[in-house]
Amino acid sequence: MDFHFTEPQTDAERLFGGFHYINAIGRIEAGDDARFREFLTKVTPPPRLTVYIDSVGGDVEAAIGIGRLIRERWFSTSVGSYVLDQDQDPSYILPRKHIAGTCASAATLVYLGGRLRYLPNGSRFGVHRFSFRNPSPDDVGRSQVLSARIASYVEDMGVSTDFLELSSATSSTEIDTVDEEKLRALKVITDGETEAEWTLQARNHIMYVRGERDSLYGHHKVMLCYAKGTGFMFWAVIESQGREHELMSFGLVEIVVNGEDIRIDISQRCERQVSGIYTNVLARITEEEARAIAFSESFGVRIRFCDEAPVFLGISSVSTEGGKEELQTFFNTLCKT
């Protein structure tokens, strides 16, 4: 597999940010995961860029290795290739175009590594049963080990294990092109936002229900918390994406519930702290405010310069679908009235 990195081409592109991407093209050979790691060390790409894949597959173990590197580096994935459009007149922002392509067989495992995953119009996503190119009797045991690795990898990437059943249903000598609707149902395609994952956790004498989501605007967590002696709290973890100063200094901080139907001003009672790539927002809340969050359809946090400001930073409301039982049981168990 060949890897090509493109970075901003003009001063204007560098000023606006973005315009970084990687094209991963061709058959996946054994050792390509090591070569991809070396490639990333040389070109030092920033996080959050997109890796465009145009490949009919190849070595499964190398594909898993590449996919894990993509996830580790916080990259997204798409199908096809993305190139400078030489047919258009250059300007401050150079024109680019997407060329439709194919992601099939082992290349689909590379694709699953993306934190966000896209399938542009015209591109093809195909699956079949994974197998060795030149099988031998010794490969029976290896196949079982590899099957376990694939299953573990698919689960780690947040994709339904039904994806494996879909692949296994097609002979290794054929390719089954999967439509978008089915890929979305299996959580293979996410587009610009993943579904929130809700969990109940405890640490440092605090219990909390956490909703975690990845999106174009960053990796975010919202939490309804409870600490003995303190009571209910709201906690948000926001991927700063270079906006630490604004997230720490803007004057208006609001918890937004059910879209924006309920706005809870926590500007004067919240604590804000930068930790690595994240900005944390933590505030004590009343029992009634905790009830509104626990029984909501969605909640998030909005940070603005002032009430009239049309643009906000923070976390747009995270759907509580999938976390309602945890949130409501948590609140009902701990509330005093």
Longest dimension (CA), the chain: 71
Calpha distance 103→126 (Å, rounded)? 6
Domain ranges of the chain: 2-185, 197-334
Residue 139 gets which letter from DSSP? H
Dihedral sign (CA 46, 48, 54, 57) = positive
Annotate 158-195 with b (16+ C-beta within 10 A) or e (fewer): bbeeebbebbeebeeeebeebeeeebeebbbbbeeebb
pLDDT tens, 112-147?
Answer: 999 999 999 999 999 987 765 555 555 556 677 888
69 near 36, Cβ under 8 Å?
yes
Q: Say what the alpha-carbon torsion angle 62, 64, 66, 67 is, to the nearest 10 degrees.
A: 160
Residue type, 278: Y
Give the number of other Cβ atoms within 10 Å of residue 139's Cβ: 13
Q: Which two tokens stand for residue 172?
A: 């290794």
pLDDT value, residue 139: 57
pLDDT value, residue 258: 96
Per-residue pLDDT of the chain (337 residues; tens, 9 = 90+): 999 999 988 888 887 777 899 999 999 999 999 999 999 999 999 988 999 999 999 999 999 999 999 999 999 999 999 998 876 666 678 888 999 999 999 999 999 999 999 999 999 999 987 765 555 555 556 677 888 899 999 999 999 889 988 888 777 777 888 999 999 999 999 999 999 999 999 988 899 999 999 998 899 999 999 998 899 999 999 999 889 999 999 999 999 999 889 999 999 999 999 999 999 999 999 999 999 999 999 999 999 999 988 889 999 999 999 999 999 999 999 998 7
Calpha distance 219→71 (Å, rounded)? 13
pLDDT value, residue 88: 63
Instruction: Please provide residue 201's backbone torsions phi and psi, each rounded to the nearest 5 degrees.
Output: -140, 170
Dihedral sign (CA 39, 43, 49, 50) = negative
> On the CB side of 237, how many CA atoms lie within 13 Å of its CA?
15
Calpha distance 307→158 (Å, rounded)? 38
pLDDT value, residue 169: 77
User: How many helices (H) does the chain have, and how many strands (E)?
Assistant: 10, 19
pLDDT value, residue 180: 92
Q: Which two tokens stand for residue 186?
A: 């299996």
| DSSP three-state, residue 71 | helix
Top CATH class, 197-334: mainly beta
Question: Alpha helices of the chain — where are they, by DSSP H?
Answer: 11-16, 32-43, 60-72, 107-112, 139-156, 162-168, 180-185, 244-249, 287-294, 324-334
> On the CB side of 194, how many CA atoms lie within 13 Å of its CA?
24
Give the number of other Cβ atoms within 10 Å of residue 266's Cβ: 20
Q: Directed axis angle between helix 324-334 and helix 287-294, to 10°?
A: 160
Task: Supply the pTM of this predicted model.
Answer: 0.84
Fold of 2-185: 2-enoyl-CoA Hydratase; Chain A, domain 1 (3.90.226)
> What mean pLDDT, rounded, does the chain reach?
91
Strand partners, 303: 253, 313
Calpha distance 60→133 (Å, rounded)? 11
